[in-house]
Amino acid sequence: MKKVTVVLFLMLGSITFAQSIDYNTKKGFAVNGYDVVAYFEGQASNGDKKFSTEYDGAKFKFSTQENLDKFMANPSKFTPQYGGYCAYAIAKSGKKVSVNPETFEIRDGKLYLFYNTGRTNTLKLWTKESPKKLQAKADKNWEKIKNK
């Protein structure tokens, strides 16, 4: 009986801590270790390991204790759309593409991140091509790939 209880406990524990979506966790942290709360203050700031937490199975870093506290009070408000993958790529191709964490947009109270390397800045393409339409496409595509 003890063996069954331990196995059941371990199975439930792994279910409890599994991610509900696939987060882009380059460098071991969501958003490459950038502070998701700072984006809402108009800044792209690197987080510090001493101000870190885990939410929905992903690790997040913050630049200050105050930002960590804000996140802990309402984590879903600050988590990036599409797991922190490029919003434009999700919309256009339904593919998960890494981002430049300094290329972002807050739209309708949500954080969107974008690929930006060389001559390709997908934030500029996103704004030029109708964010509302792209957002609707990305939402549909994300439903299909968010757990893969």
pLDDT digits (tens, 9 = 90+) for 129-142: 999 999 999 999 99
pLDDT digits (tens, 9 = 90+) for 57-75: 999 999 999 999 999 999 9
Higher pLDDT, 58 or 16: 58
Asked whether 61 and 47 are in contact (CB, 8 A), the reply is yes
CA distance 126 to 15: 36
Task: Identify the sign of the CA torsion 100, 98, 113, 66.
Answer: negative
pLDDT of 3 higher than 80 = no
Structure tokens at 124: 């500029």
Predicted TM-score (pTM) of this structure: 0.86
Q: How many residues does the chain have?
A: 148
